[in-house]
Amino acid sequence: MNMYRQALDSLRPIVAAIVVTAGAFALFVAASGYPAVEALMLVGKGAFGSGFAWQNTLSRAAPIMFTALCVAVPARAGMVIIGGEGALALGGLAAAMVGVWWASRPVVMVLAGMALAAWVTGGLWIGISGWLRYRRGVNETISSLLLAYIGQAVFNFLVEGWLRDPASLNKPSTAPLDSRDMIGNIPGMEVHWGLAWGVLACLAAWWLLRHTVFGFAIDIVGGNPRAAKMTGLPVGRLMLAASVLGGGFAGLAGMFEVAAVQGCANADLMAGYGYQGILVSFAARHHPLGVIAGAILIGGLGASNSLLQRHLDLPDAAAQVLQGLLFVSLLAFETLNRRGGRHA
Amino acid sequence: MHDGVALGSLLLALLGGIMRVSTPFLFVSLGECITEISGRINLGLEGTLVFGAMSGYGVSWLTGSPWLGVLAAGVSGMLLGLIHGLLCSLPKVNDIAVGIAMMLFGTGISFFIGKPLIQPEAAMLPSWHLGSWSHDPQVRDALRVNALLPLGLGLAALLRLAFKRTRLGLVLRLVGDNAAAARALGYHVVRLRILATVAGGFLAGIGGAFLSLYYPGGWNEGLSSGQGLMAVALVIFARWDPVRCALAALLFGAAGALGPALQSQGLTQGYYLFNAAPYVLTLILMTLSWRPGQTLAGSPGELSLTNRS
């Protein structure tokens, strides 16, 4: 009983924020001279209105689950990491290269190698932020976003230089993966397996944070670092571990985009999933199970965007406006949260 | 002999570049400086910068006056600053999270509203041709001073004076250092912080207008890439002193001008890496200026970003 009550209590501000967002978006759209009610209906229709819409939504939700975990896991240790986009890009690049270099090996080995490469690359990249935070006290929010910009520069430098497939003329890309190494769709759906792995990753993260000593220790570090230090916890190492773990998830997002969608690494990897993950994690209050629902919601907003463009000729930034409004109103309604919600 | 000529023209290209690239840094960092001195962080200035660039360009195009554009950019920056300031005043709302949200919100609405502005050409900001005595086009280009740069430098000196000598400046510092003491003296802490965030937004908006109305010029979605965010780090590096902010902005300008200057000299290899120089510089400076477990000298006592256990 009490548990349901709590769940309801924490849902209330989210529902309120969604309602306010819809209203504000309608006003904004109307003020820009577009039909507001129709726009709102199209958002619903394009996100969840048909089987096709659901498949589009879920395909977008998959990478967002991973990038949201890149925010959620470090947040439990008290860090606000917002550089998932860079870890995604570099993780995807590492995966693409392993896929190309190992093309003659068994499929399972290739995919496992790609996942490992993506995980390690993403983890190390975000790990820099965690390391700077605990060794030097450098603010991890700024450093992680700077690292995202640097990561994208390194990505472009490599993809347009050393790692470029000479056959990719218009759009610089790495060499394409062998089609047998591509990750297929979940049977009966036009959604790739990355979705299942994303849900699994969220469940695993939840189990790790909720049911292990490691998760408990990280929660103490995030809640009160001074107390954590007093009890003899290795605060610095735990923060580093949380950031490496989170970065690994973002790297995996890149791996699935390469192995299930793009077939190679190119600039299309940087489609903003890293930034959408920030919003999802905050909306879920950094709870890994909430991330699943949040990723589907935000994936839906992205999926409806093309419908808005086609039917109403809205600018493609409409999705960004929606997401920005939702983020701002979510934070504003946090103030009504009766339980002292912890915000890193 | 030949190398000497190449180095000379590289330095000239760099000099012109520094003045162009550092101006937006200068305005955003002065704005952030005011906000941080009052004890709050506005990470959303990246969004403010883009929003200012868009509205400044739009108004300049509609009215034909770039200065009206600058004013409009400042006012729209104030608007975003006001939203940030009000949201942060609610209980349990964290200024860093609001900043991230405002970053996404500001860029989103700018791209949305600004879509029709990609094509048209607006009136640009003027510049002074201090190099008109020379026949060398490179010298003339290097000595072209944009109108906002001296304004910004003057403002930096003025702000330093204001923080040290004026009543408002001292009250603002008190609010940022010790909110309880300020409250005890009867000052309205929340109102002053909102005011400081609005003022910061005004200056950041002007920085944005520079991007669209002078350099790189024009409105497009790739106009700003992290300048607003780097300014936050820059202020910390400058230890909350407006004049040091100006010097740091010149340094950041140099890092940002390096890539284009090398490119103008025909060096195109590693273009992306040179363009990442400002981010790397910011990261290095942050690493050097932060001390673990220690509050930074000169840091406003109420600042969440730099005071930690």
- Mean pLDDT across B60-65: 96
Q: What is the DSSP letter of A174?
A: P
Residue of A nearest to B42 (CA): A142
Interchain CB contact of A145 with B (< 8 Å): yes
- What is the DSSP code (8-state) at residue A187? T
Distance CA A27, CA A14 (A): 20
- pLDDT at residue B306, as a whole number: 63
Partners of residue A282 in chain B, C-beta under 8 Å: 97, 100-101
Question: Nearest C-alpha of chain B: how many angstroms from A15?
Answer: 18
Contact yes or no for A226 and B308 at CB 8 A: no
Q: Give the number of residues written for chain B.
A: 309
Over 80: is that where the pLDDT of B305 sits? no
Closest residue of chain B to A162, computed from CA coordinates: B270
The predicted structure's pLDDT at residue A310: 92
Average pLDDT, chain A: 91
Residues forming beta bridges with residue A173, ordered by sequence position:
A266
Q: Is A293 on the interface with B (CB under 8 A)?
A: no
What is the structure's pLDDT at A341? Answer: 47
Q: Per the CB < 8 Å rule, is B104 touching A275? A: yes
Q: What is the pLDDT of residues B82-135, one digit of tens each?
A: 999 999 999 888 888 899 899 999 999 999 999 999 888 999 999 988 888 888
Residues on chain A touching B292 (C-beta within 8 angstroms): 134-137
Three-state secondary-structure class, residue A317? coil
Percent of chain B past pLDDT 90, that is, above it, reads 62
What is d(CA A154, CA B244) in angstroms, rounded to the nearest whole number?
Answer: 31
* Residue to substitute from B51, B90, B100, interface A, most A β-carbons within 10 A: B100
The string of pLDDT tens digits covering residues A198-238 is 999 999 999 999 999 999 999 999 988 888 888 889 999 99
Cβ neighbours of A214 (radius 10 Å): 14
- Any B CB within 8 A of A273 CB: no
Task: Kindly tell me the sign of the dihedral angle through the C-alpha atoms of B182, B186, B189, B194.
Answer: negative
Q: Which tens digits make up the pLDDT trace of A34-93?
A: 999 999 999 999 999 989 999 999 999 999 999 999 999 999 999 999 999 999 999 999
The whole-number pLDDT of residue B202 equals 98
* Chain A residues near residue B271 by CB distance under 8 angstroms: 157
- A134: distance to nearest CA of chain B, Å? 7
Q: Which of residues 26-45 of A touch B (CB under 8 A)?
A: 28, 32
pLDDT of residue A342: 46
pLDDT for res A179: 85
Report the 3 state secondary structure along chain B.
CHHHHHHHHHHHHHHHHHHHHHHHHHHHHHHHHHHHHCCCCCCCHHHHHHHHHHHHHHHHHHHCCHHHHHHHHHHHHHHHHHHHHHHHHCCCCCHHHHHHHHHHHHHHHHHHHCHHHCCCCCCCCCEEECCCCCCCHHHHHHCEEECHHHHHHHHHHHHHHHHHHCHHHHHHHHHHHCHHHHHHCCCCHHHHHHHHHHHHHHHHHHHHHHHHHCCCCCCCCCCCCCHHHHHHHHHHHCCCCHHHHHHHHHHHHHHHHHHHHHHHCCCCCCHHHHHCHHHHHHHHHHHHHCCCCCCCCCCCCCCCCCCCC
Note the pLDDT of residue A244. Answer: 97
Cross-chain residue pair A321–B306, CB shorter than 8 Å: no
In 3-state terms, what secondary structure has residue A182? coil
Per-residue CA distances from B232 to B139, B185, B240, B292 (Å): 33, 30, 10, 19
Asked if A279 lies within 8 A of B104 by C-beta distance, the reply is yes
How far off is chain B from A133, nearest CA to CA, in Å? 8
Kindly report the number of other CB atoms within 10 A of residue A250's CB atom: 37
Residue B232 contacts A, CB cutoff 8 Å: yes
Q: Could you give the count of Cα atoms lying within 13 Å of A22 in the half-sphere of its Cβ?
A: 13
The closest of B72, B45, B67 to B56, measured between CA atoms, is B72
Q: Where are the domains of chain B?
A: 22-128+152-289
Nearest CA in chain B to A333: B93
Find chain B residues with C-beta within 8 A of A144's C-beta. Answer: none
Query: Hey, is A296 helix, strand or coil?
Result: helix
Best residue of A157, A282, A305, A322 to probe chain B, by most B CBs closer than 10 Å? A157
Handedness of CA A329, A335, A340, A344 (dihedral sign): positive
Q: Which residues contact A41 (CB under 8 A, 6 or more apart)?
A: none
Does residue B19 carry a pLDDT above 80?
yes
Comparing A6 with B12, the larger pLDDT belongs to B12
Tell me if A318 and B112 make a contact (CB, 8 A cut-off): yes
Nearest by Cα to B249 from B115, B145, B167, B156: B156
Question: Given this model, what pLDDT does residue B2 score?
Answer: 55
State whether A160 and B83 contact (CB < 8 Å).
no
Encoded tokens for A44: 């619903």
- C-alpha to C-alpha distance for A332 and B116, rounded to whole angstroms: 31
Distance CA A281, CA A291 (A): 6
User: CB pairs below 8 Å between A and B: how many?
Assistant: 153
Identify any residues that bridge with B128 across adjacent strands, giving them in sequence order.
Answer: B145
Judge contact between A97 and A174, C-beta under 8 A: yes
Please list every residue in chain A whose beta carbon sits closer than 8 Å to the beta carbon of residue B112: 28, 32, 314-315, 317-318, 320-321
Say if B91 is an interface residue toward chain A (CB within 8 Å).
yes
pLDDT tier at B1 (50, 70, 90 boundaries)?
very low
Tell me if the bond preceding B216 is cis, omega within 30° of 0. yes
Q: What is the ipTM of this complex?
A: 0.91
Residues in a beta bridge with A192? A185
Nearest residue on chain B to A150, judged by CA atoms? B276
Task: Report the DSSP beta bridge partners of residue B145.
Answer: B128
Rounded-to-integer distance, Cα A152 and Cα A323, Å: 23
CB contact under 8 A, B92 and A147: no
pLDDT for position B283: 92
pLDDT tens over chain A, length 344 residues: 577 777 777 788 889 999 999 999 999 999 999 999 999 999 999 999 989 999 999 999 999 999 999 999 999 999 999 999 999 999 999 999 999 999 888 989 999 999 999 999 999 999 999 999 988 888 899 999 999 999 999 999 999 988 999 888 888 999 999 888 888 888 888 888 999 999 999 999 999 999 999 999 999 999 888 888 888 899 999 999 999 999 999 999 999 999 999 999 999 999 889 999 999 999 898 999 999 999 999 999 999 998 999 999 999 899 999 999 999 999 998 887 755 544 44
Mind listing the pLDDT tens digit for each residue in B193-250?
999 999 999 999 999 999 999 989 999 988 888 888 888 888 988 989 999 999 999 9
Q: Is B222 on the interface with A (CB under 8 A)?
A: no
Interface membership of B257 toward A (CB under 8 Å): no
pLDDT of B25 above 50: yes
B270 vs A28, A157, A327: nearest CB: A157
Interface contact B108-A275, CB threshold 8 A: no
Shortest CA distance from A146: residue in chain B: B279
Residues of A in contact with B91 (CB under 8 A): 335
Cβ-defined contact of B287 to A340 (cutoff 8 Å): no
- Give the distance from residue B146's alpha carbon to the nearest chain A alpha carbon, in angstroms: 28
Q: Does A280 touch chain B (CB under 8 A)?
A: no
What would the mean pLDDT of B180-196 be, rounded to a whole number?
95
Distance CA B127, CA B215 (A): 11
**Most distant CA pair in chain A: distance in Å?**
63
Residue A149 gets the label, from left (phi > 0), alpha (psi -120 to 50) or beta, of alpha
Which of A138, A157, A334 is the closest to B93 by Cβ? A334
Q: Is B118 on the interface with A (CB under 8 A)?
A: no
Check residue A339 and give its pLDDT. Answer: 56
Question: Using CB atoms and an 8 Å cut-off, which of residues 235-254 of chain B contact chain A?
Answer: none
B279 touches A: beta carbon within 8 Å: yes
Handedness of CA A297, A299, A300, A305 (dihedral sign): positive
Closest alpha carbon to B203 in B21, B54, B23: B23
Q: What single-letter DSSP state applies at residue A167? A: T
| Residue for token pair 């791996």 | A255
Q: What domains appear along chain A, each with residue ranges and CATH number?
A: 51-299 (1.10.3470)
Q: How far apart are CA B278 and CA B185, in angstroms?
A: 42
CA dihedral (B54, B211, B283, B260) positive or negative: positive
Q: What angle in degrees, to the nearest 10, is found between the helix axes of A140-159 and B277-289?
A: 150
User: Does residue B261 surpass a pLDDT of 60?
Assistant: yes
* Candidate CATH numbers 3.40.50, 3.30.70, 3.40.720, 1.10.3470; the one for domain B22-128+152-289: 1.10.3470
